[in-house]
Amino acid sequence: MSLVESPIQIRSMVSALKPLLSAQAIVRENEPLSKRTTLRVGGPADLYLEPGSEADLATVLSYCKQHAIPWMMLGRGSNLLVRDGGIRGVVICLGTPAFHSLRINGAEVFAGGGVRLRSLAFEAKKVLLTGFEFMEGIPGNVGGALRMNAGAMGSAMFEVLNSVRHMDSEGNINESKVDQIPVEYRNCPLFKTHIVLSATFTGNTGKKDEIEQRMNECSQKRWKSQPAAPSAGCIFKNPTSIPTGRLVEELGLKGTRRGGAVISDVHGNFIVNDGNASARDILELIDFVKEKARSQRGIELHTEVQIVGED
């Protein structure tokens, strides 16, 4: 059981942790996660922490293990639904400069776990490296995208990945080649328990106009096919028989509302926040769509979005 059970214990944990961390670390109590997720919903984290270095990160993991405090990683907050009760324990985000290093040497790209995919795509474009254009529209960072085996426009992270440095829950650092890392559709089991510190990717030399055209195509396709309102991306994995967006449209569920949550009129596999949605509203819509797909088409839908926290 977590020792984080009251405001007094949270403050005690902050007092104990802060002296162990570098001056670059960021530590906040009861941090609202609604402002740190693309859905703009979710309760607070007991403790929100951005380590200032890899040593800080190892210290935090050691402290959590010693005191039986749960922890979870937070990337850019896409593909994530935080329940209204928030997160007990520590939420760790690689938001400080120590995890944002980005450099390119020939065809090889080195990126820290906190680097935004959009930044990686544009830096590769500057030196005429192709293979990264699809990242332009993924609202995540390197660590989160590898954790979810993210992809878009027919391409995916592990297709350009070379190797990953990662830290386990004991604070030990290892490096794995891409062929040593088992992956599944929108999931990499290793990074449920190991934190991505940095990764190297390999691209190919391309032509400026072709790279720009590919990035423009990705951008235009995204804006035409996806809603602009706050969302977490696709809510459900696609069943083998039919894309979920088409299924939702055929069931006549577009525009269905629960409170401030609405099934998008643009794409049926998106639930958007119209400005005042709660996590409960979104969860009710998810259950509603599941029930309709099951009862009317005999299809079991499974969520692609990660659902965490307490009600």
Q: Which DSSP string do the residues of 104-162 spell out, in sequence order? A: EETTEEEEETT-BHHHHHHHHHHTTEES-GGGGG--SBHHHHHHTT-EETTEEGGGTEE
Q: Which amino acid is at 308?
A: V
User: What distances in angstroms separate CA 60 from CA 2, 21, 115, one per listed residue?
Assistant: 15, 8, 21
Model confidence pLDDT, tens digit, residues 95-120: 999 999 999 999 999 999 999 999 99
CATH number, domain 227-308: 3.90.78.10
Q: In the numeric block, which tokens belong to residue 82?
A: 């935080």
Other CB atoms within 10 Å distance of the CB of residue 225: 11
CATH number, domain 100-224: 3.30.465.10
Q: Which amino acid is at 205?
A: T
With vertex at residue 151, the alpha carbon angle to CA 147 and CA 157, rounded to the nearest 5 degrees, is 60
| Residues linked to residue 105 through DSSP beta bridges, in sequence order | 108
pLDDT band at 6 (very low <50, low <70, confident <90, very high): low
pLDDT (0 to 100) of residue 2: 43
- Helix (H) / strand (E) element for 19: namely none
Per the prediction, the chain carries an average pLDDT of: 92
Q: What mean pLDDT comes out for the span 272-292? A: 97
The mean-pLDDT minimum among 66-70, 134-138, 170-174 falls in 134-138
Indicate the pTM of the whole model: 0.89
**Residue that the structure tokens 């290093």 belong to:** 101
User: What distances in angstroms separate CA 121 from CA 137, 144, 156, 235, 257, one per listed residue?
Assistant: 9, 16, 13, 25, 36
| CATH architecture, domain defined by 7-97 | 2-Layer Sandwich (3.30)
Helices (H), the chain: 7-17, 54-66, 117-126, 142-147, 190-193, 208-225, 244-250, 279-297
C-alpha to C-alpha distance for 96 and 99, rounded to whole angstroms: 6
pLDDT (0 to 100) of residue 37: 95
Q: What mean pLDDT comes out for the span 130-158? A: 89
- The answer to whether 7-97 and 100-224 have equal CATH topology is no
pLDDT at 4 > cutoff 80 = no
pLDDT at 3 > cutoff 50 = no
pLDDT (0 to 100) of residue 7: 66
- Domains of the chain, by residue range, sit at 7-97, 100-224, 227-308
